[in-house]
Amino acid sequence: MADPVRASGNDDDGDAAFAEGAITLWSNLLALMGTDVLEVGTPHQEVLDMLRMLHETNEETIRSPRARANARRNLMSVYQVLGDA
């Protein structure tokens, strides 16, 4: 069966939607892992520092401005949740 996104010529939209979905999944997993790490006794500041380092890496390596902005928003949400935990 033909991919309707590719058939309509919207490759960029399909790629962006895929990237946004992957970033959302990634951030959800990151939140779960962060919560687990906090529960086993890792200091809050150490976890937040790891998230800051991950943010810096994302800013340097994600090529798409749209995907980079999405990653930034999702990571900030994880940062806030774990910062309040």
Q: Is residue 53 part of a domain?
A: yes
Q: Is the pLDDT of residue 84 over 90?
A: no
pLDDT in tens, 3-50: 554 555 567 778 878 888 888 899 899 999 999 999 999 999 999 999
Domain containing 82: what range? 43-85
Look at residue 66 in the predicted model and tell me its pLDDT. Answer: 86
Residue 5 confidence (pLDDT): 47
Does any domain span residue 17? no
Say how far apart CA 51 and CA 82 lie, in whole Å.
10
- pLDDT at site 40: 96
Q: Is residue 21 situated within a structural domain?
A: no
pTM: 0.71
pLDDT at 4: 52
Establish if 69 belongs to a structural domain.
Answer: yes
Task: Domain count for the chain, please give it.
Answer: 1
